[in-house]
Every structure is written in C-alpha cells, then in structure tokens.
A and B are shown apart, each in its own frame.
Chain A
Amino acid sequence: MLSGFVVADELAKILASYRGNRSELLSILREVQDTFNYLPEEAMRQVAKFIGIPESQLYSVASFYSHFRLTPLGRKRISVCRGTACHIRGAPQVIEEAGRLLGVKESETTPDLEYTLETVACIGCCALAPCLRVNEEVHGEVTLKKVRELLPDLNNGA
C-alpha cells in the first residue's frame, strides 16, 4: 500500500487547481485515479474533507461509477478476453489457470501489487482466440502452457 505521505504530497498537487466545490468532485476523483491507478482510501478521505462532504457520501459516489477502482491496480494488468470466440476456445480455463497461478480471483490484485487479473468482453483479436493482454501487449492462441510461461506461480505451496 502507498504510504500516507506519498498520497498527501501527490494529492496536494492535484487539489491545488481546485476550489473545493461539490461540482468538482468527479473531476478530482478522476485525476486521483489517473495518478494512483485507483482511489486510495487516504486520498478519498482528504478529498471528502477538501470538498466538505462526509466520507461516506464520497465513497457512495466513488463506488457508484464502475470507472473508479477502489483497490490498487497491479503493475502488470492481465486482461483475459472472454468474448464469444475466446470463450468457445477455452477462455474459462485460461482465466482459471491464471487465477490459480496468481492466487487471486477475477478483478483482484496480488498483495505485492505486481499483477491484476481481470476479464474483458472482447479485445478484437477473435482470429487469435483465446487471447489475453498483459498491459498493452496482446498474446494470441493462448494455451495453459503459455499461461504458465507468462505468469509466475505465486501460489505454489498453497
């Protein structure tokens, strides 16, 4: 997790260009997410104070929009496609194997903040099904063996 001080410093830079009106809330949250990849709790508390609304209400807004992430994103974002073509060609098994290796469920991040596993509807490479993406890099015709080559087994021994 990020330390409170890092959050405070970065946040101060963001808030410097705002006045603290309620109408600025969504813009601020978007900037916070752009900076940290997610909305750190400490940042949400500070933003609530800055805007002058209760923390619980800010969280209500943050949790309403699927755009906002409330948990940190790993440095490597594994997006497994589960579009129709990929689904037919074994996406469920790919997701399962990736989850087993990393020890996380869908939309979760490993505790070391290295990997986030998520699924996407279609990345537009149906000809290469099943496929997945590591950050921006697409891997096609994925097999379970290929998954094991791509991802470390963080879950061994468990």
Chain B
Amino acid sequence: MIANTLTVILILAGLVFFAAGTAGLLRFPDVYSRLHALTKADNVGLGLVILGLMLQAAGPADILKLLLIWVLVLAAGTTAAHMVAQRTWTHGEFESDR
C-alpha cells in the first residue's frame, strides 16, 4: 500500500519533469537551450518513473534491469545532446537539405 502510494507520487513527479521538458522544447529561443531542456528534464523524469516502478518490481533482477535502462538512456541522452550541439555549431543552424 505504501509502495503503491510512493509509486504514484514518484511517477507523477516524473510526469511534471516530462511536461517541463516539452514546455522548454516549445518555449526556449534557440537549439542549444532546447537541448538543455530535453536532455536534463527528460532524464530526471525517466529517473523518477523508474524509481517508482522499481518499488513494484518482482525481484532484484528486475530492479537492476530498470537501472540498466536508466543508465543507458542517460548515456544516450548526453551523447546525443553533445553531438547535435556540435553539429549545429560546425554546420550552422540552417543547413540545406541536399
């Protein structure tokens, strides 16, 4: 029962971060700022949802699997953010679609 309540709270908190990430994506003025919003807010959102789901997990293997997913997404997020930022820096914000 307590676990269920905690799960609901954690997932709701995570959803707030996802909403904030999308708000930043729509509102921020340039690509770099939008990257900030998407990387950081979404990763924290996912972290909170995963924490919430860990409380419902059946065993240690499931918990570790969720943790593995979070670590992978975290690594992917930072790498992708850096690569998009670098590409925008070197090629300019408006490249022609060839």
A joins B in a complex: no
Binding site for B on A (CB under 8 A): none
Binding site for A on B (CB under 8 A): none
